[in-house]
Chain A
Amino acid sequence: MNELGLLSNGVNPVLLIVVPLALAFAVPLIGFISKKIIKYIPVLAFLFNLIIAILLIPKVLHQPIIVKIGGFQPPFGINLYVGTVGILFSTLIALAGFLVSIYALNYIKEGPKEKYHILYLLLLTGATGVVLTGDIFNLFVFFEILCISSYALVAYFGNRAGIESSIKYLIQGSVGSSLLLIGIGLLYGQFGTLNMADIANQIQSASSPSIFVPMVLMITGLGVEAAIFPLNAWLPDAHSSAPSSISAILSGIAIEVGLYAVIRVLFTIFGASNFLMFFVFLGVLTLLIGEMSAFSQKNIKRMLAYSSIGQIGLIVFAVSLNTQYGVSAGLFQMISHTLGKGLLFLAAGYMIYRTASMDISSFEGIGKKMPYTSLAFTIGTFSLIGLPPFIGFPSKFMIIKAALAKEGILFTVLVGLVLLGTVIEGAYFFRVVQVIYFKKGNGNQERKEAPITGLIPMFIFALLIIFIGIYPNFIIKILNSAASELLNKIDYIRSVLG
Chain B
Amino acid sequence: MDFLSNNIYYIGAFGLIFIGLFIILVKHNLIKVIIGISILETGVNLFLIAVGYISKGTAPIFSRPGLNAKNMVDPVPQALVLTAIVIGVAVLALALSLAIRLYKHYGTLDLRKIKEQRW
Contacts and interface: CB of A to CB of B under 8 A. Distances in A.
A70 interface: no
A57 B74 CA distance: 39
A236 B117 CA distance: 9
A254 B19 CA distance: 30
A5 to B, nearest CB: 27
Interface string A343-357: 000000000000000
Given A165-B117, A170-B91, A241-B117, A155 B98 contact: yes
Interface string B57-101: 000000000000000000011001001100100110011001101
A155 B40 contact: no
A492 to B, nearest CB: 23
A189 interface: yes
Contacts of A449: none
B48 A158 contact: no
B117 A237 contact: yes
A163 B90 contact: no
Given A174-B91, A185-B51, A188-B77, A158 B101 contact: yes
Contacts of B24: 171, 175
Contact of B101 (A141, A155, A189, A237): A155
Contacts of A151: 94, 98
Nearest to B103: A163
* Interface SS, B side: helix
Q: Interface size for chain A: under 10, 10 to 19, 20 to 34, or 35 or more residues?
A: 20 to 34
Contact of B30 (A141, A166, A167, A177): A167
A233 B119 CA distance: 8
Contact of B105 (A160, A168, A174): A160
Given A141-B87, A165-B117, A182-B44, A160 B94 contact: no
Contact of A171 (B33, B51, B101, B102): B33
A148 B44 contact: no
A498 B26 CA distance: 50
Contact of A167 (B21, B47, B48, B102): B102
Contacts of B40: 174-175, 178
Interface of B: 17, 20-21, 24, 30, 33, 37, 40-41, 44, 47-48, 51, 76-77, 80, 83-84, 87, 90-91, 94-95, 98-99, 101-102, 105-106, 114, 116-117, 119
Given A155-B98, A163-B101, A164-B114, 14 more contacts: A160-B106, A160-B116, A163-B98, A163-B102, A166-B98, A170-B91, A170-B94, A171-B24, A174-B37, A174-B41, A181-B84, A182-B44, A188-B77, A236-B117
